[in-house]
Amino acid sequence: MFAKIIAAIILIPIAIVLIIFMVVNRGAVPVSLDPFGTIPQLTFTVSLSVLLMSAVIFGLILGGIGTFLTQSHHRRLSSKRKREIERLKHESDKQDEKIRMLEDDRDRMPSAGAGDSRAMVPAARAA
């Protein structure tokens, strides 16, 4: 709840400034895709606010893609560790089952007499 209030306190003024910026800079500016200026067909006009917001959005998309690509190592490592954890859990469950079976066998065996110094050992089961 507190984080939402803080986010609203920060984001509402930013949104207001952004809307004011878009309204004030709605004048058209020429944009040329020809760096040398020799081909006038590659020139078009667009409002400054649309141009700047497009540049910001394009930069955010490129930054997101770059971040996604640089973090691939961490995602791969995380996936590998999850598989290892699942393998170890499965192995642990198998060992717990073996322990339970051995304890059941031990409980079913008659206890050794007081004068008998040899304890009976259950036969090993194939795993």
Tens digit of each residue's pLDDT (9 = 90 or more) over 25-82? 888 988 888 888 778 888 889 998 889 889 999 999 999 999 999 999 999 999 999 9
Of the chain, the percentage scoring pLDDT greater than 90 comes to: 54
Asked if residue 64 is part of any domain, the answer here is yes
Residue 45, token pair as written in the block: 């006009």
Q: 120 to each of 31, 50, 100, how far by Cα in Å?
A: 93, 87, 18
The model carries a pTM of 0.56
Asked if residue 114 is part of any domain, the answer here is no
Nearest one of 24, 22, 45, 42 to 34, comparing CA atoms:
42
Asked if residue 26 is part of any domain, the answer here is yes
Domain carrying residue 12: 2-33+42-70
Based on the structure, what is the number of domains in the chain?
Answer: 1
Residue 123, token pair as written in the block: 């036969």
Asked if residue 24 is part of any domain, the answer here is yes
| 44: three-class secondary structure by DSSP | strand
Asked if residue 15 is part of any domain, the answer here is yes
Which backbone phi and psi does 44 adopt, to 5 degrees? -140, 165
Asked if residue 51 is part of any domain, the answer here is yes
Asked if residue 104 is part of any domain, the answer here is no
Asked if residue 75 is part of any domain, the answer here is no
Nearest one of 75, 27, 31 to 49, comparing CA atoms:
27
Residue 113, token pair as written in the block: 């007499």
